Chain A
Amino acid sequence: MAPEPSDESLVARVVERDPAALGQLYDRYAPGIYAMAAHLLGSSDAEEVVQEVFLRLWHKAAQFDPGRSAFGAWFMAVARHHILDELRWRNHHAGQHAYVAGTEAIEQLLARAADPGVDVEAEAERQERGAAVRQALTLLPPEQRRVLVLAYFGGLSQSAIAAHLGCPLGTVKKRMRLGMQKLRTHLLSVPAAQPEGTAHPDRRPEPAPAPGVRDAAGSDAGHQDHAASGPPTAAVEGIKPAPAR
């Protein structure tokens, strides 16, 4: 069976106005975008969001630069920005609790997925979409998972998260660092949703995100080791708290 085309080859076809390529990207990314939008904005608006971001991709695919980032990160950043912008626009009088409200259900779902009773390893073996990420989330203590959910899905700054949780800013920074490092360590050894071995060669010469990445990254001793083994707490705590954006 022919290998699935990479995201980058599909987006190149979208630039050339190939609807089928857009359809394949839709299959890969629409579920995540829709789920995020539905939880934060409601299911009726989520449909609108999905349509808007894919139409935007259709019209602006040429703006994607494969030499600068992976398509998935670029496109999901566009979609997340769109959703959070809509959330802020809608709740600009409602205050922070409006941003947090939708994240609570998300956190509960992800926590349930991380329940040891759920056989996420079996899921990963079946390569069910998102299973690898959910499995990685099992490695996180709930408090680390919570700050990641609040930051990513709620669009909250570290200061805002600290205020919401009622804990010191340094604690939030530490949880966020550790949580992200654990996810990174785990996920870079697990293939992404995108077909294996299809990452853009110009952007990342070494195989990615297959296990080879970690080996290749190992040569980056200073950065990689620092990032993977956890930060010196003093360095994290030493940053002066900055006002929330």
Chain B
Amino acid sequence: MQTTACDAILPLLEAYALGAASADEQALVERHLPVCPRCRRLVDEFRAVAHRLPEALAGVSPYDVPPGLKARLLDVVQREAEMAPPRYATPPAAIPTPTSAASGGYLPIPVAWGRWRSSTVLRAAAAILVVALAVTLTARLSVALARERLRAEYAPLLALVDQQEIVLEVVDGRQTVKRQLQPPDGSAGPGAPYGKLYTRPDMPHVVAMAARLPPPPPGQAYHLWVTESGQTRLAGVIATNEDGFGLLVFDAGHNGPLYEAATVTLQPGGATSRGTPVLLWQA
């Protein structure tokens, strides 16, 4: 039997399935769906219909998938498949590091510049994470490079599954907040450096990445500074690879850090105040 609630909800389902309903309408629908299997099925059907629109576009669009893309993608996953067991089949061993206790005893995330530099394990971890994130976050790092590094660093990769999961959770979460860092002059052309800062309201972990950065001069490094509640602190150093891609994962100390600003600077290692900004974001 159709309920009164359904009468009110039915006119909203098409827009809801398209993601075009207002926030109020969306909330109404989401309160109703758990108790109404028939409306749920209708939403499923509308969604299925909506998500076939790209299929229609593909048939008439002048844009065809580049022929080599599939081979490159499968090359990467084939290599991973050969190296790693099925996901979740074997829990990876935790990496024992001093930072484990600092971050609640379960997460090996560098929280300070000194620790970051001093830990060989974490440097290896950073290299692997750079590879993993480079593959997923930027096309600038070639797949061939990723493959070579994955092969060379097979053992650390296995030990890093936990951290990879964390990074992917932060980057991919539905509630993920992403901030864009740009050069101070606002340039955003094809070759301009850029950065991204990812936070989640339900996690203390923060992922920062930067790309297209020129190699730092000898004795200098890229530092990430974050400002929260008016206080600016050093989050860590972004080590870059030869493609100018760098990644930093750190623990904000509490869930959902609400940063007001983030700045990547170029300055000597160990500095205690901000140097020359190369990328910045401000709320």
Contacts and interface: CB of A to CB of B under 8 A. Distances in A.
Interface string A35-46: 110110001111
B56 A72 contact: no
B73 interface: yes
A31 B58 contact: yes
B59 A129 contact: yes
A180 B57 contact: no
A236 interface: yes
A155 B25 contact: no
Given A89-B178, A176-B15, A184-B49, A54 B56 contact: no
Interface of B: 1-2, 6-7, 10-15, 17-26, 38-39, 41-42, 44-61, 63-66, 69-70, 72-74, 76-78, 80-81, 84-88, 135-139, 168, 172, 178, 180
A231 B46 CA distance: 15
A128 B243 CA distance: 41
A34 B61 CA distance: 10
Given A46-B63, A134-B60, A19 B77 contact: yes
Nearest to A108: B60
15 contacts: A16-B86, A23-B70, A26-B74, A34-B64, A44-B139, A50-B73, A51-B72, A69-B44, A73-B50, A89-B178, A156-B20, A173-B11, A223-B6, A242-B24, A245-B22
B51 A15 contact: no
A80 to B, nearest CB: 7
Contacts of B138: 48
Contacts of B6: 222-223
A159 B22 contact: yes
A184 B45 contact: yes
Nearest to B22: A242
Given A60-B168, A244-B22, A130 B57 contact: yes
A51 B135 CA distance: 8
B69 A36 contact: no
- Would you call the interface of chain B mostly helix, strand, loop, or mixed? helix
A22 B74 contact: yes
A100 B99 CA distance: 47
Given A26-B70, A48-B138, A243-B22, 10 more contacts: A18-B81, A22-B74, A30-B70, A59-B168, A73-B44, A110-B60, A152-B53, A184-B45, A220-B38, A227-B42
Given A38-B61, A48-B139, A73-B48, A235 B54 contact: no
A109 B65 contact: no
